[in-house]
Amino acid sequence: MRRPIAPALVMAGCLALAGCGGSADGSDAAPDLSVRSAYMPQPVTDSLAAGYLTVVNESDSSDDLVSATSDIAGDVTVHETSGQRMKEAGRLEIPAGGRLVLESGGTHLMFEKLKRKPKEGETVSVKLRFTKTDPITVEMPVKSATYRPTSTKSSGSSTHSNSHH
Amino acid sequence: MRKKTFAAALAAAAALTLTACGSSDNSSSSPVAEVSAETGSEKAATVLDKPFEKPDLVLTDTQGKSYDLREATKGQPTLIYFGYTNCPDICPLTMNNIAVAKKQLPKAEQDKLRIVFVTTDPERDTPAELGKWLKGIDPAVVGLTGSFSTIQGGARQLGISIDPPTKDKDGKVISEHGTQVVAFSPKTDAGYVLYGEDATVDDYTKDLPKLIKGQTP
């Protein structure tokens, strides 16, 4: 069942990468990064929250997400889930012409030492730092605790909303 | 189940191509959108051919009182999940999904349903901590803590494997959560349906009325 489908998919996956190798508009630095589909589910308590986003690299040069800070948290770390275990991730590569997806059940931003509890409808400011690219500040909307992007677990989830360019 | 495998293969295929197509041209995103439509139609529930016996677990609830799982949930539709409160990602999502779905049931059915959250990080999740966290989700959820080995043994009886929390080099505690929510029938007290991490509010909303009657979703 799976075999015959896979090759077709490989094509689809490649085609679906919006801006795969496409030229950047108005950027001078080598990597051309943009952040899409950012959100934070409203956390349960005022001590801990998670955040998700996709970093798209529309250039031929790779970059790494190094760290993050936020106005509402004393500490922001990037965590990855491997199996059932969550641990702090090191640098995360954003491959040339590729993307880094932080999504529920996988890699995510973990906000600790919150200054207040973010509530649905609010916006949280997050500054992402990279190896090469200048920092990018993302206004991350706080969604309901059970919010899910329209498509999860697929690399194409963020291509629906490419307006934050 | 077949659809699920299919979707996973898709995601894997798409991911694999990420590094391979750096120089290809940009194009429409529609193929991937179709993939997500496919995953959305899959069934969340896995009905077991051989249901699990309810684990013989006696732990401590958020009031600090002894809680005998079998005795307290006998003849009640019951959902069990193993997780920990210092988990920002899957644990609150799973519990909130269930809590939100439960609120859509008629009041009488809400009162029948037992939702049990068993911590996998008992050292940090004291009764008070559990209570505080669950209050932010649904105060009616039963939160249980106790010795790790007891919890691990209970989880194992449900086919859920959990290793004890460890510390990383910075002294941060790394815990594990279970991968499944197990639903127990009020008719047989057996764990007969499983939900994975991908189960949504809609999935639970659709299935809870059946689970409460001990029916197969």
ipTM of the complex: 0.72
pLDDT of residue B153 exceeding 50, the answer is yes
Contact between residue B22 and residue A60 where contact means Cβ atoms under 8 Å apart: yes
Question: In this structure, are strands B114-119 and B142-144 parallel, antiparallel, or unpaired?
Answer: parallel
Which pLDDT band holds residue B13 (cuts at 50, 70, 90)?
Answer: very low
Q: Which residue has the higher pLDDT, B89 or B4?
A: B89
Which pTM value belongs to this model? 0.75
Q: Rounded to whole angstroms, how far apart are CA atoms B135 and B178?
A: 21
pLDDT of residue B40 exceeding 60, the answer is no
Q: Which residue has the higher pLDDT, A163 or B177?
A: B177
Looking at chain A from residue 38 to 97, which residues have their Cβ under 8 Å from any Cβ of chain B? 41, 43-45, 48-50, 60, 79, 81, 83-88, 95-97
Q: Report the pLDDT value the prediction gives residue A160, as an integer from 0 to 100.
A: 35
Q: Rounded to whole angstroms, how far apart are CA atoms B196 and A3?
A: 25
In the structure encoding, which two tokens stand for residue A27, read together? 């950027």
Which pLDDT band holds residue B16 (cuts at 50, 70, 90)?
Answer: very low
pLDDT of residue B118 exceeding 80, the answer is yes
Comparing C-alpha atoms, which of A154, A42, A89 is closest to residue B136? A42
Q: Which stretches of chain A score pLDDT less than 70?
A: 1-30, 81-87, 151-165
Say which CATH class B50-164+173-213 falls into. alpha beta
Q: Report the pLDDT value the prediction gives residue A24, as an integer from 0 to 100.
A: 42
Which range has the top average pLDDT, B22-26, B76-80, B172-176?
A: B76-80
Question: CA-based angle B62:B194:B214, to the nearest 5?
Answer: 85
In whole numbers, what is the pLDDT of chain B averaged over residues? 83
Which pLDDT band holds residue B212 (cuts at 50, 70, 90)?
Answer: very high
Question: In this structure, are strands A73-82 and A85-88 parallel, antiparallel, or unpaired?
Answer: antiparallel
Please compute the mean of the pLDDT values over residues B178-196 and round it to a whole number: 95
Comparing C-alpha atoms, which of A100, A102, A94, A101 is closest to residue A31? A94
Comparing C-alpha atoms, which of A139, A163, A143 is closest to residue A70? A139
**A81 neighbourhood in chain B, CB within 8 Å:** 89-90
Q: Report the pLDDT value the prediction gives residue A104, as an integer from 0 to 100.
A: 87
Min Cα distance A163 → chain B (Å) is 14
Min Cα distance B187 → chain A (Å) is 30
Q: Report the pLDDT value the prediction gives residue A84, as an integer from 0 to 100.
A: 62
